[in-house]
Amino acid sequence: MTREAPVVLWFRRDLRLGDHAALLEASRHSRHVLALYVLDDALLKPGGAPRTAFLYGCLEKLNEQLGGRLMLVRGDPAVEVVRAARSVGAAAVHVSTDCGPYGRRRDASVAKALAENNIDWVETGSPYAVTPGRVTKPDGDPYRVFTPFHRAWTAHGWRAPADTGPSLVDWVEPPRSLKVPRPPRVDAELPEPGERAALDAWHAFLEDGAETYDTDRDRPDLSGTTRLSPYLRWGCVHPRTLLADLGDSAGAKSLRSELCWREFHADVLWHRPETARENYDRRFDGMEYDDDREAFDRWCAGRTGYPIVDAGMRQLLAEGWMHNRVRMVVASFLVKDLHQPWWLGARHFMKHLVDGDLASNQLNWQWVAGCGTDAAPYFRIFNPTTQGEKFDPDGDYVRRYVPELRSVAGKAVHTLKDRPEDYPAPMVDHAHERRVALERYGKL
């Protein structure tokens, strides 16, 4: 009896074995599957050290789940994927669709190279509950505003989680493989990598956090968020898995909405890939910015003299992560108080965030800057002092990350009438810079 030809499952942003649509489809074509990951310098070189270190940890965990049968190669995917497939006589290469600008170009090249070698290319699923491009207006145009997208996304719905796991197929012994590289040195304290850690974090949140998510998610002083963004970034858990577990409480509805924001930004980038680097609203190409490297460096270091801003920037350096409310506050401060271009901040975030996701990062920065998808957000200029008082009412978040202020009790940490000598004075006057920002926006 002739043994059926194996297939390749090329892992990318889907570093798990549970709820894996491409794995399920691969199993329908062959019982014998080669697990493959390509270390692609086009993605690794611009990636920040926290994200790369977390990726390597996830690859180690995936290899353990596969019984040591993950084939790891380095090089041009258009060469290495074909070489790996041919090395085991594979009939097809299965993948989850990559929706990013680079991934789409890369996959077109790989599919072409495979076709030249009579090897099929099969895309199934994506890192999203609803693959970007699927939800459109009735006339086929993409949505430009979140609220109507959210309604259409909810109405579209999504499939139930795929019933997959490590025993679904027989994993082929790789004919050759590199060892997972040693992670780069990272000062930040990163989360535990891998699928098991992702599911543990999710189940812990469901037990203690889901019901109050709608009220606690904006409070950086509380543990009110899922902290799942690094796992979603690398596909250690699929959003469909999360959505299947959510009920109809206010907290569940709020979390569904946040997951939809992630999918909305991916959809925008799908239709407008240039917005990874350029203004979504091209009128903002004429925006006037300040060229002040010293000011930017003080913002990066968390030495602005505004406690909530400094706490956020230091959390980023300490953990490779920052609370979402504080991300908006520090972004507004850079763009509207320091008058710096949004892409400088976006680049700094991508360098340090363990959850750095191109679509979410770039388009959230554009939303804050006013040049993104929202109709008129330019006048939203966060007051860092009042934001701190509202969302960190007892000052616990600030004191956690700014040790110079730990002697200041309560919410007084946000106003600092008695400012410690080792903590800087505010580098700018917010009221004045707000007027300057509005004047510049008005000229557009």
Whether residue 225 is annotated as binding a ligand: the answer is: yes
Instruction: Give the whole-angstrom CA distance, residue 241 versus residue 226.
Output: 14
**Long-range pairs, 330-335, Cβ under 8 A, ≥24:** 330/299, 331/364, 331/365, 331/368, 331/369, 332/368, 332/380, 332/381, 332/382, 332/384, 333/299, 333/304, 333/306, 333/309, 333/382, 333/384, 334/296, 334/299, 335/365, 335/368, 335/369, 335/437
Count of beta carbons in the 10 Å neighbourhood of residue 117: 11
Among 256, 228, 233, which residue's Cα sits nearest to residue 100? 233
Does 213 show up as a binding residue in the annotation? yes
Flag whether 136 is marked binding: no
Tokens standing for 198?
Answer: 């992702």
**Is 226 assigned a ligand-binding role in the annotation?**
yes
How many Cα atoms within 13 Å fall on the side-chain side of residue 324?
A: 17
94 forms bridges with which residues in the sheet?
9, 122
| Angstrom distance (rounded) from CA 216 to CA 210 | 10
Q: For residue 355, say whether it is annotated as part of any ligand binding site.
A: yes
| Residue entry with tokens 């790989």 | 110
Separation CA 210–CA 191 (nearest Å): 20
Would you say 227 is a known binding-site residue?
Answer: yes
Residue ranges at the known binding site: 213, 225-229, 355-357
Which residues are annotated binding-site positions for FAD? 213, 225-229, 355-357
